[in-house]
Amino acid sequence: DAGVTQSPTHLIKTRGQQVTLRCSPKSGHDTVSWYQQALGQGPQFIFQYYEEEERQRGNFPDRFSGHQFPNYSSELNVNALLLGDSALYLCASSLAGTYSNQPQHFGDGTRLSIL
């Protein structure tokens, strides 16, 4: 049973460029959340996708956008990259529950470095 997989594992970009990160959820999961984890800090919620729609969003600018596909996989896009976007980007998947929270399972992340 494959867990959450993310690609690529590492990425180096320069300021102003655009980047796309990819995530495949754990088998049986239908909800994908994206987090940004700066060095030495806890993960910060970016947004969550369910049924191909953005369901919730954290305090991130519109430069951060996403997409969910019919097979539940997801992409995170970041435009006009800034030095401060350098971080580990984590994808977490879960099964939507109407009345209770379901545990989120994380991928290994994509380490994004901006030069």
Partner 1 sequence: GENVEQHPSTLSVQEGDSAVIKCTYSDSASNYFPWYKQELGKRPQLIIDIRSNVGEKKDQRIAVTLNKTAKHFSLHITETQPEDSAVYFCAASMTGGYQKVTFGTGTKLQVIP
109 scored as a contact of partner 1 (CB under 8 A):
yes
**CA torsion sign, 115 to 18 to 107 to 103?**
positive
Map the footprint of partner 1 across residues 42-101, applying CB under 8 A: 42-45, 48, 50, 55-56, 58-59, 90, 92, 94, 96-101
Q: Taking CB under 8 A as the rule, which mask of x and - marks residues 4-23 in contact with partner 1?
A: x-------------------
DSSP state of 76: E
Report the nearest approach of partner 1 to the CB of residue 40 (Å). Answer: 8
Looking at the Cβ atoms of 87 and 90, the one nearer to partner 1 is 90
Query: Residue 8 belongs to what H/E stretch?
Result: none
1 scored as a contact of partner 1 (CB under 8 A):
no
Distance from first CA to last CA of the chain, Å, rounded? 37
Query: Residue 7 belongs to what H/E stretch?
Result: strand 5-7
107 scored as a contact of partner 1 (CB under 8 A):
yes
